[in-house]
Structure 1
Amino acid sequence: MNRKYNPKGVDNVLADLGFDDAEELSAKAMLAFKLNKLIDKQGLSQTDVASITGMTQPKVSQVRRYKLQNISLERLMQALVAFDQHVEIVVSPARRAHVPGISVAA
C-alpha cells in the first residue's frame, strides 16, 4: 500500500490519494460495504458472521471497520456467497471511454 503523487484527479479517490493498489482497495470496499449492509440488516454479531462465513472473528471485525489490507477480494466474495448472494465477475475489453482496470457494482 505505497502512495505515489498523482497531481491530476481521476475517478478513484484512492488513486487521487496516491495508493498503488487503489483499484483493488475500491473493489474490496464495495464488497465490504455490501457485506456490512447484510450483517446490519440481519442484526448479526461478529461471532455469528464468523460462523456463517468461515472467517475468524478478528477478520470479521476488520471487515466491519473497513480495514481491508489483509483480506483478499476472493475472501470477501466467498463471504457474500455464504450470505446467499450472487457475485459476478465480468471481463470485457476496455473501451476508449474507459481505461483498463477493476470495477465493482454492488
Structure 2
Amino acid sequence: MTRNDFSPGTDNVLMDLGFDDAKALSAKAALAFKFNTLLDQRGLNQTEAASITGMSQPKVSQVRHYKLRNISLERLMQALVSLDQHVEIVVQPARRALAPGISVAA
C-alpha cells in the first residue's frame, strides 16, 4: 500500500471499523463512560454499584469493561438515573448540519 492509498474516516471510529451497529454502540459507549466516571468519582465497587442500580454484578462488570452488546440503551439510562443523573432524550428534525441518526452527549 502506498502512502496515498487510504480512505478518509468519519467521526465514528466504530463505523470506520465496519461495525453494523456503530451508532448504537457509540451511544452506549457514551452512557457507559458517564456511568464508569460516576462509579470512580463515588468510589463504588461493582457490588455496590449493582445494589444501587438494580443491575447484576456481572452486568456492571460488562459496563465497566465496555462490553456493551448485551446491555440495552434503556438499561444504561436507568442505571444513570439510579445514580441521581437526569437523562434527556431530544427528538428533532434532521438538518443539513445534523444528519439523521443517534447521538448522546454525556
Report if TM-score (shorter chain) is over 0.5.
yes
- The match for 1:27 is 27
- The match for 1:67 is 67
Structure 1 segments (4+ residues) deviating >2 Å:
none
Count of residues in Structure 1 that have an aligned counterpart in Structure 2: 100
Could you tell me how far 1:10 is from its partner in structure 2?
1.8
Q: Structure 2: how far apart are the matches of 1:50 and 1:32? A: 14
Mean Cα displacement is larger for which, 7-16 or 85-94?
Answer: 7-16
Q: Structure 1: how far apart are the matches of 2:17 and 2:34? A: 23
- The match for 1:11 is 11
What does the per-residue CA deviation read over 1:42-97, in whole Å, with 9 as the maximum and x for residues that have no partner?
11110000000000000000000000000000000000000000000000111012
Could you tell me how far 1:11 is from its partner in structure 2?
1.7
Q: Structure 2: how far apart are the matches of 1:104 and 1:32? A: 11
Q: Structure 1: how far apart are the matches of 2:17 and 2:47? A: 34
CA RMSD of aligned residues (A): 0.9
- The match for 2:98 is 98
Q: Structure 2: how far apart are the matches of 1:99 and 1:16? A: 17
User: Unaligned 5+ residue runs, structure 2?
Assistant: 1-6
Could you tell me how far 1:34 is from its partner in structure 2?
0.3
Could you tell me how far 1:41 is from its partner in structure 2?
0.6
TM norm structure 1: 0.91
- Please say which structure displays the higher CA radius of gyration: 2
Q: Which amino acid aligns with 1:65?
A: H
User: Unaligned 5+ residue runs, structure 1?
Assistant: 1-6
- The match for 1:36 is 36
What's the secondary structure of 2:20's corresponding residue?
A: coil
